[in-house]
């Protein structure tokens, strides 16, 4: 199985930046996509973006395009979510997930981290 651990969350003022990390360990073979989701209170888990381990292709939700960037460090088995120009509506628990295929739906992803809280003040 795969273990995922998120870090880097915290409190930031609107317009500021944060970088989240997701470190993967265990049997990662077959986990070809790493994705970020977020969930605010009372809302369903929402797709943020994803990256392919094979070629580095990235995919983003419209709500974060131009502000968030996903990258990877193969040597560290880690993916990053760089968040710039943060808005109060970005406040949520952010989760990383991995799976064999790309999808914006949460259910198909096989492994999940515990999440890290991001709070953006106005």
Sheet holding 2-7, edge to edge: 2-7, 18-26, 78-83, 68-73
> 3-state class of 31 per DSSP?
coil
Has residue 31 got a pLDDT over 90?
A: no
Residues with Cβ within 8 Å of residue 99, at least 6 apart in sequence? 31, 32, 33, 35, 108, 109, 110, 111
Predicted confidence at residue 55, as pLDDT, reads 87
**CB neighbour class for 79 (10 Å; exposed up to 12, middle 13-18, buried from 19):** buried
Predicted confidence at residue 46, as pLDDT, reads 98
Task: For residue range 69-88, list pLDDT tens digits in order.
Answer: 999 998 899 999 999 999 99
The single residue listed with the structure tokens 């981290």 is 113
Predicted confidence at residue 27, as pLDDT, reads 81
Has residue 29 got a pLDDT over 80?
A: no
For the stretch 55-62, contacts whose Cβ atoms lie closer than 8 Å and that sit 24 or more positions apart, written own/partner, are 59/102, 59/104, 61/104
Q: From 116, 102, 82, 117, select the one nearest 34 (Cα to Cα).
A: 102
């Amino acid at each position: 199985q795969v273990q995922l651990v998120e870090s880097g969350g915290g409190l930031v003022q609107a317009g500021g930046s944060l970088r989240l990390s997701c470190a993967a360990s265990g049997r990662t073979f077959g986990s070809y996509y790493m994705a970020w989701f977020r969930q605010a209170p009372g809302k369903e888990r929402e797709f943020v973006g994803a990256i392919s381990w094979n070629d580095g292709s990235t995919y983003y939700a419209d709500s974060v395009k131009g502000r968030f960037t996903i990258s990877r460090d193969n040597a560290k088995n880690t993916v990053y979510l760089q968040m710039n120009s943060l808005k109060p509506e970005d406040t949520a628990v952010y989760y990383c997930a991995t799976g064999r295929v790309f999808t914006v739906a949460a259910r198909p992803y096989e492994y999940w981290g515990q999440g890290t809280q991001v709070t953006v003040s106005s």
